[in-house]
């Protein structure tokens, strides 16, 4: 499928754009040509079985890793040219909380706030902490937090710098309904009301559908299916998913990556 143009009709760059992205580890080709475009404010869920390359793709999109060939652009910025500006626009929520256990919640947020050049940091921290419901525990050490509270803090950390794009790597671990609601809530920036773009990588179909406008299915390093914007029919997505990941389909194509 051909990539959508970087500059959409209204002349605004895509929040995230990937063109011809491949990733090779030694001789293993894990990603085999990913073309993806996410408009500002758009949410996309990427489903895929284990070993499809989801984490690898997310690492490349979040600029931690670089593609073997191909290009990534964040809000029109090439991370190879200007990594700092690209990273500034990205927030990541992963199964690692990215939190320092011996430091307090406030110290964690202050650290990341400084690293991301967040203006009016202390105010921002207070407001975000209230938003995610940990304001009372701001000065407690993070290793005294329950798993749920750590997740909330991780969410606050991820959006502290008001990123254009939020990336979620398999957020289903330990998220209750409240946590999920909070996540959806944070997809909109509280101060400006700006809708963040989001990329949710998951193999949990219902969760992905709840969070997104569009879906894609990653199988064997390729995007086997991408829906267009519009009404998402959970049943049809489910059907696409089973079809693309079924053993019969897989063996017909010579076997996806293990």
Residues within the interface to another protein (CB under 8 A): 25-29, 62-66, 83-88, 90, 92, 94, 96-103, 107, 111-112, 114-117, 141, 220, 253-255, 257-258
- Considering the complex, state which of residue 31 and residue 237 has its C-beta at the smaller distance from another protein: 31
Q: Is 166 strand, coil or helix?
A: strand
- Considering the complex, state which of residue 193 and residue 254 has its C-beta at the smaller distance from another protein: 254
Query: What's the longest Cα–Cα distance across the chain?
Result: 57
- Considering the complex, state which of residue 150 and residue 227 has its C-beta at the smaller distance from another protein: 150
CB of 74 to another protein, least distance (A): 11
Q: Is 139 strand, coil or helix?
A: coil
CB of 115 to another protein, least distance (A): 4
CB of 5 to another protein, least distance (A): 27
CB < 8 Å & 24+ apart, contacts of 241-250: 241/47, 241/205, 241/217, 244/217, 244/219, 245/48, 245/49, 245/217, 245/219, 250/219, 250/220
CB of 257 to another protein, least distance (A): 6
CB of 218 to another protein, least distance (A): 15
- Considering the complex, state which of residue 111 and residue 225 has its C-beta at the smaller distance from another protein: 111
On the CB side of 87, CA atoms within 13 Å amount to 14
8 Å CB contact between 3 and 39: no
- Considering the complex, state which of residue 5 and residue 255 has its C-beta at the smaller distance from another protein: 255
Number of neighbouring beta carbons within 10 Å of residue 118: 20
CB of 172 to another protein, least distance (A): 17
What Cα–Cα distance (Å) separates residue 164 from each residue in 38, 158, 161, 177?
11, 11, 9, 25
8 Å CB contact between 222 and 35: no
What Cα–Cα distance (Å) separates residue 42 from each residue in 45, 72, 189, 216?
10, 17, 14, 13
CB of 205 to another protein, least distance (A): 26
- Considering the complex, state which of residue 78 and residue 85 has its C-beta at the smaller distance from another protein: 85
- Considering the complex, state which of residue 117 and residue 233 has its C-beta at the smaller distance from another protein: 117
Which value, to the nearest 10 degrees, does the dihedral of the CA atoms of residues 151, 159, 39, 62 take? -70
Q: Residues for the chain: how many in total?
A: 258
β-strand partners of 34: 21
């Amino acid at each position: 499928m051909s990539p959508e143009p970087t500059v959409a009709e209204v002349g605004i760059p895509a929040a995230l754009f990937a063109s011809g992205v491949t990733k090779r580890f030694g001789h293993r080709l894990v990603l085999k040509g990913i073309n993806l475009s996410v408009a500002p404010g758009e949410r996309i869920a990427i489903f895929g079985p284990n070993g499809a390359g989801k984490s690898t793709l997310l690492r490349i999109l979040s600029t931690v890793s670089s593609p073997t060939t191909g290009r990534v652009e964040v809000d029109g910025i090439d991370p190879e040219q200007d990594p700092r500006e690209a990273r500034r626009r990205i927030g990541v929520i992963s199964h690692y909380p990215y939190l320092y256990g011996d430091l307090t919640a406030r110290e964690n947020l202050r650290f990341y706030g400084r690293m991301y050049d967040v203006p009016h940091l202390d105010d921002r921290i207070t407001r975000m902490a209230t938003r995610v419901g940990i304001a009372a525990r701001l000065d407690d050490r993070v290793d005294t937090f329950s798993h749920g509270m750590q997740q909330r803090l991780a969410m606050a950390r991820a959006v502290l710098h008001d990123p254009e794009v939020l990336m979620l790597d398999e957020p289903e671990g330990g998220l209750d309904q409240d946590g999920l609601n909070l996540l959806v809530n944070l997809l909109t920036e509280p101060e400006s009301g700006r809708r963040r773009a989001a990329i949710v990588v998951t193999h949990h179909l219902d969760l992905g559908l709840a969070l997104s406008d569009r879906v894609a299915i990653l199988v064997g390093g390729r995007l086997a299916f991408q829906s267009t914007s519009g009404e998402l029919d959970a049943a049809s997505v489910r059907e696409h998913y089973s079809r693309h990941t079924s053993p019969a389909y897989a063996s017909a194509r010579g076997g996806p990556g293990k």
